[in-house]
Structure 1
Amino acid sequence: MANDLRLGVAGLGTVGTSLVRIIHNKARALEKRCGRRIIVTAVSARNRDKDRGIDLSEANWFDDPVALAESDGIDVFVELMGGDSGAAEDSVRAALKASKHVVTANKALLAKHGVELARSAEANNVSLNYEAAVAGGIPIVKTMRESLAGNDVTRVYGILNGTCNYILTRMEREGLAFAECLADAQRLGYAEADPTFDIEGFDAAHKLAILTSLAFGCEISADSIYVEGITSITTADIEAADELGYRIKLLGVAQRTDTGIEQRVHPTMVPKSSAIARIDGVLNAVAVDGDAVGEVVLAGPGAGGNATASSVLADIADIGRGDRAPTLGKSADELEPYVRARMRKHEGGYYIRLSVFDRPGAFATIAQEMAAHNISLESIVQRRRAIKSDAPGNSHPGEPAPVILITYETTEEAIKEALGAIDAQNVIADKPQMIRIEKLT
């Protein structure tokens, strides 16, 4: 039997603790599956004295994760600290330079330095594995890097952030406002005290950047992603989507076009009949369109200690068996430069919600500006305005009423120019809401 595979684990938070526990509890099964024992020989964390509910008595403790990464007592450095710089970056670079295999769950680090780190791994003949960095427990990296190697991918998209999906699901099911759902997500541990990274779409963007590289064989370019969060979504939008046959999801979408690669993260109306529409709560899902296989959809827990640790351990098991694949699906030197696609028509059209003053000529102004910008409207719906209690049974002429427009395919530039022109005509009360409608099966 081969020598033991010795792990150094940096970061003993929820995922790191779960990883150590699973390795201890399933030591015999892992040994049979990998042909060698997997043991945690060293750890690093900020607090030595914290009771984590796991036995670390046989592990050497390092206060400095870089020293752990360089230690002769480990074969694999497991980075679970997080962050795109500082200790995480320094220790991963040190481990690769010291010819240690690296397993990480750090999407921010890979989104910023992934190509450079992949090049270092190849130069030192070691693996850089990161299944847990994208969609938690879903094996999407291995699927795209290995199982779909015979496919030319045209599009990859998905629900990549459980916090946002949880909030949107609660808003739809219970009619709750965004702020109330966010507060519940924070109380339950689904959202951080500062939730900006999740709710503004940046977490999903980092994951999408990695998937884009795997899908299209290009360099990672997180800075080229259009990013929009869910903070502007209201219960009115949720209700309108339901009436129109859609559900609202925060999607990350990357697709190859004739002019380059398009990457975007934003709230999206998806048909209720689509597979992605049925993914609720904190679950994630990723869909890949390949020329040979068609569409593949993988769904599962996108976060959580055990689910994420499961993916980390899958990467470790690959190293234990001697299985190795190029970090980003092909050699780093063979990755194509990222070419950003030129703006084009959005095939699914747009949902637009306007708060229109109830006065003569308002609708005509809106229709004229849309036509002037070559935007064709599929439908116009004036939603019922709430009646104030001080005048039961009577409406209030001149007050704004919600109006829903659904467009045929058009460019985002045209939509924004038209909405700007409408706003300048003083016929709407609030900032317009615009949500893309995605054509999905």
Structure 2
Amino acid sequence: MASPLRIGLAGLGTVGSGVVRMLARRRDGLAAATGRAVEVVAVSARDRNRPRDCDLSSVRWFDDPVALAKDPDIDVFVELIGGHDGPARAAVEAALGAGTPVVTANKALLAHHGIALAAAAEASGAGLYFEAAVAGGIPVVKTLREALIGNEIERVSGILNGTCNFILTKMQDEGVSFEAALAEAQALGYAEADPTFDVDGFDTAHKLAILASLAFGLAPDPEAIHIEGIRSITLADLNAAEELGYRVKLLGVALRTATGVEQRVHPTMVPKHWPIAQVSGVTNAVAVDGDAVALTLVGPGAGGDATASAVVADLADIAAGRGAKPFGIAASALRPAELVAIQGHEGGYYIRLAVVDRPGSAATIARHMAEQNISLESIMQHRRGRPHGGERADAAADPAPVVLITYATTEEAVRRAIAAIEADGVITAPPQMIRIEKD
């Protein structure tokens, strides 16, 4: 049997500790499968004295992850620090510069610097592996890069952030507000004290940038992605979706269009019978549509064991001598990603308006929709309850929630119509618009 594959691991949080435990637990199985043992020989972490649920008694410690990355006595550098700059980037660049293969779970690093890191890996002959960077334990990177190589990919989409999916599921199933669902996600450790990165869509965008690179040969670039989060989603929207036969999910979508590859992150209504609509809690799902095969992968999108599983899978590939170009093709062949205007996207739309309850309001709305050639599939109006069952004296001033469902149209047309409706003063609050995916 070949000599052991010596791992230097930077970052001993939930995932890092999980990798150490998994390698110890699967030592014999990995050796049998790859032809050599895989063992952690050195680590770097900010606090040596912090209690950890793994055995580190025989490893060497480094205070500086860059020094660990340059250590000639490791064969692979595993980066689990996080962040797209600072120590994580410096350490990964140092390892690749030294010709040491890198395994990382750092989606932000890859989204912002992936093309430069891939070029560095190719120049030094080292590998750059990142199965754990997208969708946790779901093997979507290898699926796109290797298993579906015979397909021309038309579309990649999915639920890529477990925190947002947990919040939307909680709101839908238990009728709680966004704020209450977010507070529970934070209490359970699914969301950070500052949840901006998750709930405003940036985490999903970083993962989508990586998937778009693998699927379409683009350089990862978050600036080429239209991003919306879930803060504006209310129980009214979820209840309306339920009544109409949909569920609301935060989706990342990349698809081939006549004007380029459109990349977008936003809340979306999907039919309840679609597999992706059934994905609840912190689970992730990725749907891939190729010209020969269409499939949906579902699994744990976060957590120590799920992400550690993906890291160990990459380590097994290295131990067995299996390698591939990081994004499937040479870094120099990756095309620049461009921000394709989402206004050109055609589909149905859900529009919720707080309409002034007075004669002519409905006609004004209908007129502006018609001016933009928008056809309406349905109109729903639920009057707010009146105390004691009677009409309020100020009923005319009380906004009536009105929901419009459009047939396929362009986002540009919808936004023009909404702007005209706002300008005419017939709504009393910012309108809500959610894109609809249909069969």
Q: TM-score band, normalised by the shorter chain?
A: over 0.9
For residues 83 and 25 of structure 2, the distance between their equivalents in structure 1, rounded to whole angstroms, comes to: 29
| Corresponding residue number in structure 2 for 1:334 | 333
For residues 287 and 389 of structure 2, the distance between their equivalents in structure 1, rounded to whole angstroms, comes to: 50
Q: 1:342 to 1:194 in 2, by over 3 A?
A: closer
In the TM superposition, residue 345 of structure 1 has moved relative to its aligned partner by 4.5
- Paired amino acid for 1:393: G
What does the per-residue CA deviation read over 1:202-231, in whole Å, with 9 as the maximum and x for residues that have no partner? Answer: 000000000000000121121110000000
Contact 1:154 1:255 in 2 (8 A): yes
In the TM superposition, residue 346 of structure 1 has moved relative to its aligned partner by 3.4
| Corresponding residue number in structure 1 for 2:277 | 277
SS in 1 for 2:237: helix
For residues 337 and 193 of structure 2, the distance between their equivalents in structure 1, rounded to whole angstroms, comes to: 35
What does the per-residue CA deviation read over 1:6-51, in whole Å, with 9 as the maximum and x for residues that have no partner? Answer: 0000000000001001111221111111110101010000001111
In the TM superposition, residue 437 of structure 1 has moved relative to its aligned partner by 0.3
| Corresponding residue number in structure 2 for 1:435 | 434
- Paired amino acid for 1:176: V
For residues 212 and 260 of structure 2, the distance between their equivalents in structure 1, rounded to whole angstroms, comes to: 12
The answer as to 2:212 corresponding to 1:249 is no
- Paired amino acid for 1:369: H
Q: Which runs of 4+ in 1 moved over 6 A?
A: none
For residues 198 and 22 of structure 2, the distance between their equivalents in structure 1, rounded to whole angstroms, comes to: 28
TM-score (norm 2): 0.98
| Corresponding residue number in structure 1 for 2:424 | 425
Contact 1:357 1:428 in 2 (8 A): yes
For residues 351 and 420 of structure 1, the distance between their equivalents in structure 2, rounded to whole angstroms, comes to: 15
| Corresponding residue number in structure 1 for 2:390 | 393
Contact 2:129 2:326 in 1 (8 A): yes
| Corresponding residue number in structure 2 for 1:67 | 67
Percent identity of paired positions between Structure 1 and Structure 2: 61
The answer as to 2:376 corresponding to 1:412 is no
For residues 284 and 300 of structure 1, the distance between their equivalents in structure 2, rounded to whole angstroms, comes to: 6
| Corresponding residue number in structure 2 for 1:36 | 36
In the TM superposition, residue 264 of structure 1 has moved relative to its aligned partner by 0.2
What does the per-residue CA deviation read over 1:256-301, in whole Å, with 9 as the maximum and x for residues that have no partner? Answer: 11111100000000001111101000000000000011x1100000
Q: 1:344 to 1:183 in 2, by over 3 A?
A: closer
SS in 2 for 1:6: strand
For residues 190 and 276 of structure 2, the distance between their equivalents in structure 1, rounded to whole angstroms, comes to: 20
| Corresponding residue number in structure 2 for 1:7 | 7
Range 346-355 or range 159-168, more displaced:
346-355
What does the per-residue CA deviation read over 1:80-121, in whole Å, with 9 as the maximum and x for residues that have no partner? Answer: 000000000000000000000000000000000001100111
For residues 80 and 344 of structure 2, the distance between their equivalents in structure 1, rounded to whole angstroms, comes to: 41
Query: Unmatched 5+ residue regions in structure 1?
Result: none
In the TM superposition, residue 337 of structure 1 has moved relative to its aligned partner by 2.6
For residues 438 and 36 of structure 2, the distance between their equivalents in structure 1, rounded to whole angstroms, comes to: 48
SS in 2 for 1:314: helix
**Aligned-residue CA RMSD in angstroms?**
1.1
- Paired amino acid for 2:267: P
What does the per-residue CA deviation read over 1:178-199, in whole Å, with 9 as the maximum and x for residues that have no partner? Answer: 0000000000111111101000
| Corresponding residue number in structure 2 for 1:321 | 320
For residues 344 and 385 of structure 1, the distance between their equivalents in structure 2, rounded to whole angstroms, comes to: 33
Contact 2:344 2:412 in 1 (8 A): no
Range 118-127 or range 197-206, more displaced:
118-127
In the TM superposition, residue 339 of structure 1 has moved relative to its aligned partner by 3.7
The answer as to 2:259 corresponding to 1:259 is yes
Contact 2:137 2:307 in 1 (8 A): yes
Contact 2:255 2:262 in 1 (8 A): yes
Contact 2:346 2:411 in 1 (8 A): no
What does the per-residue CA deviation read over 1:148-207, in whole Å, with 9 as the maximum and x for residues that have no partner? Answer: 000000000000000000000011111111000000000011111110100000000000
Contact 1:7 1:41 in 2 (8 A): yes
| Corresponding residue number in structure 1 for 2:351 | 352
Q: How many residues align?
A: 437
For residues 240 and 62 of structure 1, the distance between their equivalents in structure 2, rounded to whole angstroms, comes to: 55
Query: Unmatched 5+ residue regions in structure 2?
Result: none
Range 409-418 or range 297-306, more displaced:
409-418
For residues 105 and 342 of structure 2, the distance between their equivalents in structure 1, rounded to whole angstroms, comes to: 33
- Paired amino acid for 2:418: L
Contact 2:84 2:108 in 1 (8 A): yes
